[in-house]
């Protein structure tokens, strides 16, 4: 329990530092980060065309117009939208108990599917700092990434790119970081998440997070966001790991659990059961 308590303490301390100084005067959450305006129009972002071979190899089926597996993500999209509307949420994280559950490909496909809905625009951000992979799955290398936003050398708007998809923007992380839990609970990250929330209900932000049991990253970060989606791979997730994950996330808002690869014949990345 020591690791869990320390992660939660770091998150609480970061939030307290972000509110007021000792004289009760408002202060910036992070001195170095560039504050963004309240609006981002995906249509105004630079376009980077994803690598078609990468999309196919990594089963980004929601980006492929002729892929029959897109219907599985449409069902998932509808259920997610219903819960987001009911709860007035717009920033959700996607994680899983351990590596190999399919959380990243689920995050990417869900982001593409949500962006195909005309009522919303979507931001997909890679926050799996130890093993970032969204840029590799899409086959893109933007000029700026998450690290530039956090150190203040780039604004969020300047780091976002459109992967040749209407209403979808991507924030990549191209350099792995060992101090990932400290970054995820830092004042700079608190400010970034607040920027995502401040974009309004018409902009949904999907955050690809690390696996829960890989460290204390998700435990430290969860209090900052609205809710989580948990991806569980059939035949890859042990029952005891799922029980431990649910215990660690007992205080988090869980939108649902996605059962991945339940029927390989139903979808390239699995049949999704949401409940």
**How distant, in Å, are the alpha carbons of 18, 182, 190 from that of 5?**
20, 14, 19
- Distance between CA 7 and CA 57 in Å, rounded? 36
- Give the E-state strand segments of the chain in sequence order: 91-95, 121-126, 168-171, 203-208, 227-233, 254-260
What is the pLDDT at residue 265?
Answer: 44
Q: What is the DSSP letter of 67?
A: -
What are the extents of the domains in the chain?
Answer: 2-260
Rg over CA atoms, the chain: 18
Tokens representing 23? 């004289």
| 119-135: pLDDT as tens digits | 899 999 999 999 999 99
What is the pLDDT at residue 154?
Answer: 96
Helix 2-17 / helix 187-198 crossing angle, nearest 10 deg: 70
> Average pLDDT, stretch 141-165?
96
Question: Does residue 233 surpass a pLDDT of 90?
Answer: no
Question: Does residue 192 surpass a pLDDT of 50?
Answer: yes
Q: What is the DSSP letter of 174?
A: -
Weakest-pLDDT range from 22-26, 168-172, 251-255: 22-26
User: Given this structure, which CATH class describes domain 2-260?
Assistant: alpha beta
Q: How many residues does the chain have?
A: 275
Instruction: Decide which of 90 and 9 is more confident.
Output: 90
Tokens representing 260? 């991945």
Question: Does residue 25 surpass a pLDDT of 50?
Answer: no
> Average pLDDT, stretch 70-93?
93
| 257-270: pLDDT as tens digits | 998 865 544 433 44
User: Mean pLDDT score of the chain, rounded to an integer?
Assistant: 84
> Average pLDDT, stretch 208-226?
93
Question: Does residue 26 surpass a pLDDT of 60?
Answer: no
User: How many Cα atoms sit within 13 Å of 234 on the Cβ side?
Assistant: 12
């Amino acid at each position: 329990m020591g690791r869990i308590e320390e992660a939660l303490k770091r998150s609480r301390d970061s939030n307290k530092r972000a509110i007021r100084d000792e004289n009760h005067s408002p202060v910036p959450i992070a001195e170095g980060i560039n504050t963004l305006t309240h609006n981002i129009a995906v249509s105004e972002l630079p376009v980077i065309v994803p690598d078609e071979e990468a999309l196919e190899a990594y089963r980004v089926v929601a980006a492929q117009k002729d892929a029959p597996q897109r219907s599985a993500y449409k069902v998932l999209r509808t259920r997610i939208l219903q819960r987001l509307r009911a709860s007035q949420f717009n920033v959700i994280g996607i994680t899983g108990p351990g590596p190999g559950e399919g959380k990243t490909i689920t995050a990417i496909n869900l982001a593409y599917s949500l962006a195909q809905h005309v009522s919303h625009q979507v931001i997909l951000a890679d926050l799996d700092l130890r093993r970032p992979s969204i840029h590799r799955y899409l086959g893109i290398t933007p000029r700026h990434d998450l690290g530039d936003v956090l150190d203040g050398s780039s604004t969020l708007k300047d780091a976002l790119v459109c992967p040749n998809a209407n209403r979808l923007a991507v924030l990549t992380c191209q350099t792995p970081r060992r101090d990932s839990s400290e970054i995820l609970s830092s004042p700079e990250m608190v400010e970034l998440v607040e920027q995502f929330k401040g974009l309004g209900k018409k902009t949904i932000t999907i955050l690809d997070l690390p696996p829960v049991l890989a460290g204390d990253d998700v435990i430290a970060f969860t209090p900052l966001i609205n809710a989580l989606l948990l991806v569980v791979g059939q035949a890859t997730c042990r029952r005891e790991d799922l029980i431990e994950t649910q215990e660690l996330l007992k205080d988090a808002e869980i939108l649902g659990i996605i059962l991945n690869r339940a029927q390989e014949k139903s979808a390239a990345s699995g049949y999704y059961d949401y409940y």
